[in-house]
Amino acid sequence: MAISFFTIVRSDVALARIEGHKMDAILKNFPASSQKQPRPTQQEAEDAVRVLLQWSGDDPEREGLLDTPKRVAKAYRELFSGYDLSAEEVLGRTFEEVSGYDDMVLVRDIPFFSHCEHHMLPIKGKATVAYLPQGRVLGLSKIARVIEIYGRRLQTQENLTAQIASAIDTTLKPRGVAVLIEAEHMCMEMRGVEKQGSQTLTTRFTGAFKTDAAEQARFFTMARNR
């Protein structure tokens, strides 16, 4: 998050609109590198928001905006809380006593929000996740939690889809995992090409869902059957 945020803040025009010493302080902890950097302080995050307010054309000192940097910094911690969580930890707790149940488990239409890594604009979607158990099953809520962990990060839809499938595949080791995501990207709706209502669908299959066309077809039937 910090790195993309930095990209916006570093814009030449933004630099021109803020006093040099302030900008130096803001940039100190945001070196232009893709390496993981320490998280900036609350003060530094709030200063960066003030720059963006100015960049938008508004006055960060006017009364209505005085507390906005604090609110935005707090909202960011919530919207991007996935960086602090580990899917492996959440998926580590599995159950074995399910009377030998080994058929498909499918959770349909799990709503989520994410943000695209290109524009930091919202992605609103729903995910359908299925797996074929092999001895152990997951707590149902854990599937939704994994979507939150990867969704509350900067994402591409492809990456999000692959990460959810991979996390379940590696921790649970089922016979197969299927993930279907349908989402709307605000960067395509509110700006740019402005195609409101367009939906992007992505899928990821592992194991039997990948190798067995009948299993894949059954997944789509169960995912779509209302």
Which spans of this chain sit near ligand GTP (rule: CB under 6 A)?
A: 116, 118, 156-158, 185, 187-188, 192-193
Using CB distances below 5 to 8 A depending on partner kind, what does residue 157 bind out of ligand GTP, Zn ion, none? ligand GTP
Q: Which residue is nearest to Zn ion (CB)?
A: 187
Look up residue 93 and give its two tokens. Answer: 């707790």
Look up residue 174 and give its two tokens. Answer: 């089922």
Q: How far is the CB of 86 from Zn ion (least distance, A)?
A: 26
The type of residue at 86 is S
> Left if phi > 0, otherwise alpha if psi is -120 to 50, otherwise beta: which for 120?
left
Instruction: Tell me: is residue 180 an annotated ligand-binding position.
Output: no
Question: Is 78 annotated as catalytic?
Answer: no
Q: For ligand GTP, give the closer residue by CB, 94 or 156.
A: 156
Using CB distances below 5 to 8 A depending on partner kind, what does residue 22 bind out of Zn ion, ligand GTP, none? none
Query: Dihedral of CA 56/61/62/66: which sign?
Result: positive
CA–CA dist 122, 113 (Å, integer)? 7
Q: How far is the CB of 119 from Zn ion (least distance, A)?
A: 4
Q: For ligand GTP, give the closer residue by CB, 139 or 192.
A: 192
Strands (E), the chain: 94-95, 105-116, 122-132, 137-138, 154-155, 176-185, 200-205
Of these residues, 119, 158, 163, 189, which one is catalytic?
119
Of these residues, 184, 187, 189, 216, which one is catalytic?
187
Question: Is 118 annotated as catalytic?
Answer: yes
Of these residues, 44, 54, 117, 184, which one is catalytic?
117
* 121 in Cβ contact with 191 (< 8 Å): yes
CA angle 168, 171, 176 (to 5 degrees): 45
Q: How far is the CB of 16 from ligand GTP (least distance, A)?
A: 22
Chain center to CA of 17: 32
Question: Is 37 annotated as catalytic?
Answer: no
Question: Is 116 annotated as catalytic?
Answer: yes
Q: For ligand GTP, give the closer residue by CB, 53 or 116.
A: 116
Question: Is 155 annotated as catalytic?
Answer: no
Question: Is 187 annotated as catalytic?
Answer: yes
Task: Name which of 219, 91, 107, 113 is nearest 167 in CA terms.
Answer: 91
Instruction: Tell me: is residue 116 an annotated ligand-binding position.
Output: yes
* 146 in Cβ contact with 189 (< 8 Å): no
Find the helix or strand (DSSP H, E) in which 8 lies.
helix 2-9
Q: For Zn ion, give the closer residue by CB, 105 or 187.
A: 187
Of these residues, 42, 43, 88, 118, which one is catalytic?
118
CB atoms < 10 A from the CB of 16, how many?
A: 9
Of these residues, 46, 148, 155, 185, which one is catalytic?
185
Question: Is 185 annotated as catalytic?
Answer: yes
Residues catalogued as catalytic: 116-119, 157, 185, 187
Binding site for Zn(2+), by residue number, is 116, 119, 187
